[in-house]
């Protein structure tokens, strides 16, 4: 299945958008551990220009990475949207529950889970913009 990639936006969602998801994709690297006696600054998250994959409903967890070749065959795939250079994106969606992944190379990445064994989801409500962050923490130490 090949979906067109929706266009990205800069800043806030367009004013004509009634509902959907507004988000930021970042990467966190380096030592994020608290240091006693040293004031070593932690590395700030870096924005990522990538694609965000959107699936309807809950998706059963397969670990933090999911192969694109497997994901593109999933029946709940709704759309893909490109972030801007600052990692920001907006997608207009009907009300419902969605699972969003950030593309990282030939995989999709999400390191957030629900207690039922599925990936974390976002809820889109009528007339509301849901804000979310997708953070790749593989290169960080906690």
pLDDT digits (tens, 9 = 90+) for 71-87: 999 999 999 999 999 99
Q: Residue 53: inside a domain, yes or no?
A: yes
Q: Residue 36: inside a domain, yes or no?
A: no
Query: Which residues lie across from 3 on neighbouring strands?
Result: none
Distance CA 109, CA 67 (A): 9
Q: Is the pLDDT of residue 141 over 80?
A: no
pTM: 0.82
The residue assigned the tokens 């367009």 is 14
Q: Residue 111: inside a domain, yes or no?
A: yes
pLDDT of 44 reads 83
Give Cα separations from 100 to 33, 41, 48, 81, 90 (angstroms): 27, 30, 15, 10, 12
Which range of residues forms the domain containing residue 54?
Answer: 20-27+45-135
Q: Residue 103: inside a domain, yes or no?
A: yes
Q: Residue 40: inside a domain, yes or no?
A: no
Q: Residue 89: inside a domain, yes or no?
A: yes
Task: Residue 122: give its domain's CATH number.
Answer: 2.60.40.1120
Q: Residue 93: inside a domain, yes or no?
A: yes
pLDDT of 57 reads 98
Query: Which residues lie across from 67 on neighbouring strands?
Result: 107
Q: Residue 60: inside a domain, yes or no?
A: yes
> Total structural domains in the chain?
1
Question: What is the SS3 string spanning 48-81?
Answer: CCCEEEEEECCCECCCCEEEHHHHCCCCCEEEEE
The residue assigned the tokens 């608290």 is 34
pLDDT of 6 reads 47
Distance CA 91, CA 18 (A): 11
When pLDDT is cut at 50, 70 and 90, the band that residue 14 belongs to is low
Distance CA 52, CA 6 (A): 10
């Amino acid at each position: 299945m090949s979906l067109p990639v929706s266009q990205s936006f800069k800043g806030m969602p367009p004013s004509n958008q009634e509902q959907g998801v507004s988000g930021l994709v970042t990467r966190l690297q380096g030592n994020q551990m608290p240091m006693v006696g040293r004031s070593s600054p932690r590395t700030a998250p870096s924005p990522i220009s990538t694609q965000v994959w959107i699936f309807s409903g809950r998706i059963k967890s397969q670990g933090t990475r999911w192969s694109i070749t497997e994901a593109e065959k999933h029946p709940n795939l709704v759309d893909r949207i490109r972030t801007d250079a600052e990692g920001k994106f907006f997608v207009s969606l009907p009300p419902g529950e969605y699972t969003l992944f950030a593309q990282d190379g030939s995989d999709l990445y999400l390191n957030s889970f629900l207690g039922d064994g599925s990936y974390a989801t976002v809820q889109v409500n009528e007339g509301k913009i849901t804000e979310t962050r997708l953070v790749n923490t593989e290169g960080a130490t906690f």
